[in-house]
Chain A
């Protein structure tokens, strides 16, 4: 019995010793284990903390003993719920939680825990182990931020790309539009019936086939040829000279290149992007027009000659008849009237010839320094019989200091004569006053002729200078007259660079003025 007891006592003692050794070992482990571990009571009051735990949470050994583990939860973390779960399931493994260290800083951990039960299954303590994942978490957070940033950047990039694509699309559209416009313009230039040349900075930069054809130089015409190089070509020389003389400014001029080639050359300045000016030159072939014009002129000349010959015969015959004695008073009267009618036709032919000349633009010949007063006096002298027949007095007023005028004397005589004849024809009684002065400011000679005649109705005044115009009241008074007189006068004055105008009051009279530069 004793032996048995002894054995059992010895065994007990052995066991007790073993337990102590084991406890010591565990204690030592606890001391050196780098893994944060702790034990708590069933109510999660901290019993003991390992070295790793103290290091992780910044405490000294067993500083936390007696504190509730629950208090270590970081603000708002679900650590308490984890503990509830542990209470129910007795074991948790690697659950994420956020705790705080002594300084109150955030510590992310993975929590594992297990309940320690006695033989009856009652929990007498919990063993906790923590894995510090703060660094991992931080890295993860940073990574996520980076990813987010990248995503944002990617988004931005996508948007930029989209915007860029839109811009490119717009640009492309505009480019296509511009191309279309260019094609249109080129097609227009290419198919234009007139020759077109475009000069930029003294070089020929564009021309159309018509231009090349005009100069019969399909091959030798080259782009970007300098003006100087072009002028070496005999065919082009007159054109280049014309352009150079005009300093490449806008103009319109006729250019006769050959007997059967007459061009109307127009140049137009075209502003360039860089502020320089390009010049577009239009070559319009007027050879045919000129030919037709010449035919017309020749026809009119011949027609005038043909008309004048029989009219001359009548004039001479009647004039000889009148100069012979032996005509009765009545016969004399008839012959006189026939003579006057014949004169009218001769005048009409003259007017028509003048109008033809005016329309050809060749009416005025060379200008000469002339005393205007003497021209006016001659007109008065030419018309004196007509005025005397109507008992009209003519008065001519002029001041000294009127300079010589640069005029085509015959044409100004015709103009003054026409105005004076009108004044006489459309005035029943009263007088006609002619006046010549000089406007020093405008450097113009100003002529006026005032009558006390029938005047021009207000509603007809606009048309006074039109061809073949005759006012109704004029037609009643005077059946003679071609309606060309004032048209011719206006053209003569304007060809001298002058102006013509009038004031008129029906039944009171008219004043016609013209001014021509000295």
Chain B
């Protein structure tokens, strides 16, 4: 069973994503901010990280950079799931090593799970 880490500060969205991924058969770990997200990634070694960008404290870009800098976590694919979606944001995330960038409002949970599965293949 693949392990997935959801780093998302919005409780409702996090709950929805958690339910959907669990339904899809993932084991789910949750973090509500960047700092705890990095910590969880290092400790629990998930197979995939779903990362929001606007987060309290350490933001998503910083989390992504931290994960990619650490050899222990640099191989974990990170799927950005954010409502930022300007070209600069996308470019920046991809440059930092994100597996893909999805704008939350443009995709349904089904589509996001499909993308996650595709990345894990």
Contacts and interface: CB of A to CB of B under 8 A. Distances in A.
Interface of A: 301, 304-305, 308-309, 311-313, 315-317, 319-320, 323, 346, 349, 353, 357, 365
Interface in B68-110: 82-87, 91, 103-106, 108-110
Nearest to A305: B83
A309 B11 CA distance: 11
A346 B105 contact: yes
A312 B86 contact: no
A353 B82 CA distance: 15
Nearest to A363: B87
A320 B109 contact: yes
6 contacts: A305-B84, A311-B105, A316-B108, A317-B16, A319-B108, A320-B19
B10 A309 contact: yes
B20 interface: yes
Given A305-B54, A313-B13, 19 more contacts: A305-B83, A309-B10, A309-B104, A312-B13, A312-B83, A313-B10, A313-B16, A316-B13, A316-B104, A319-B109, A320-B16, A320-B20, A320-B109, A346-B105, A346-B106, A353-B86, A357-B86, A357-B87, A365-B91
A309 B108 contact: no
B110 A309 contact: no
A316 B106 CA distance: 10
Nearest to A297: B86
B29 to A, nearest CB: 20
A301 B54 CA distance: 11
A316 B85 CA distance: 18
B5 to A, nearest CB: 19
Given A301-B86, A316-B13, A308 B104 contact: yes
Q: Nearest 4 pairs between A and B by C-beta?
A: A308-B83, A312-B104, A319-B108, A308-B105
B83 A309 contact: yes
Contacts of A317: 16
Contacts of B87: 357, 365
B114 to A, nearest CB: 13
Interface in B40-86: 54, 82-86
Given A305-B54, A308-B103, A309-B10, A315 B108 contact: yes
B110 A312 contact: no
Interface in B1-56: 10, 12-13, 16-17, 19-20, 54
Contacts of A313: 10, 12-13, 16
Given A301-B86, A305-B83, A305-B84, A312 B20 contact: no
A44 B40 CA distance: 162
Contacts of A353: 85-86
Contacts of B13: 309, 312-313, 316
A301 B20 CA distance: 28
Contacts of B103: 308
Nearest to A314: B105
Contacts of B83: 304-305, 308-309, 312
Contacts of B20: 316, 320
A210 to B, nearest CB: 34
Given A305-B54, A308-B103, A309-B10, A316 B109 contact: yes
